Amino acid sequence: MLIGWGSVGVIYTFSDRWQGPGTVMQPGVIDRMIPFTADAIWLYLSFFLLIPAGYLFCRPQKLRWLSASMILTALVCGAVYLLWPTTLVYPQDSGQGLSSQMLARLVAADSEQNCLPSLHIALSLLAVWALVQRKQPWRSGLLIAWGILIALSILQLRRHLFIDLVSGALVALVCGWICQRVAWKFSSAQRERQ
């Protein structure tokens, strides 16, 4: 987890520091249909439980794949952030409750850029992918629902636009598939040597 998720943090931070000013992305139809609410912060922050769960509870043979997939996904996203930085017009939250206070802390700590593709949804998808098992359909269904709720919370908080989520999910799927193919070829080559 330290190597996989830690590398993501390093890539995210340095791509944010080295990029130029971001192109302002405009909300699309789906973005305008979903109302802003600071209460979505709790589901949004549950990402920080989902990622460790991915590492702690996936099958041991999935650990290397998960780390490699997260690193490759972060490298692809980081390259996009550097070559085409994006930002959006963030809503002003004037609430005084605990949700609004947590959102203010998130805004203070998070990048105002690094929007497209969404690394938040990409890593969530990879963690769910690592945890889902055909033999445990109920657990897998709950994990998929958790991932969908995180995606919805991202849109409700206006931390990303729908296009950011779609592109982040595509990057994760392609990078995860590449890492799966490489791992499969590597394990096949090892079996042949034995």
Mean pLDDT of 12-25: 91
User: pLDDT, tens digit, for every residue of 104-123?
Assistant: 999 999 999 999 999 999 99
CA distance 155 to 77: 19
What pLDDT sits at residue 20?
Answer: 87
What pLDDT sits at residue 1?
Answer: 86
What pLDDT sits at residue 184?
Answer: 72
CB atoms within 10 A of CB 89: 10
What pLDDT sits at residue 188?
Answer: 56
User: pLDDT, tens digit, for every residue of 142-184?
Assistant: 999 999 999 999 999 999 999 999 999 999 999 999 999 987 7
pLDDT score of 191 more than 80: no
What pLDDT sits at residue 183?
Answer: 75
User: pLDDT, tens digit, for every residue of 82-102?
Assistant: 999 999 999 989 888 999 999
H/E/C letters for each residue in 17-44? HHCCCCEEECCCHHHHHCCCCHHHHHHH
Mean pLDDT of 59-88: 96
Confidence of residue 133 (pLDDT cuts 50, 70, 90): very high
CB atoms within 10 A of CB 27: 16
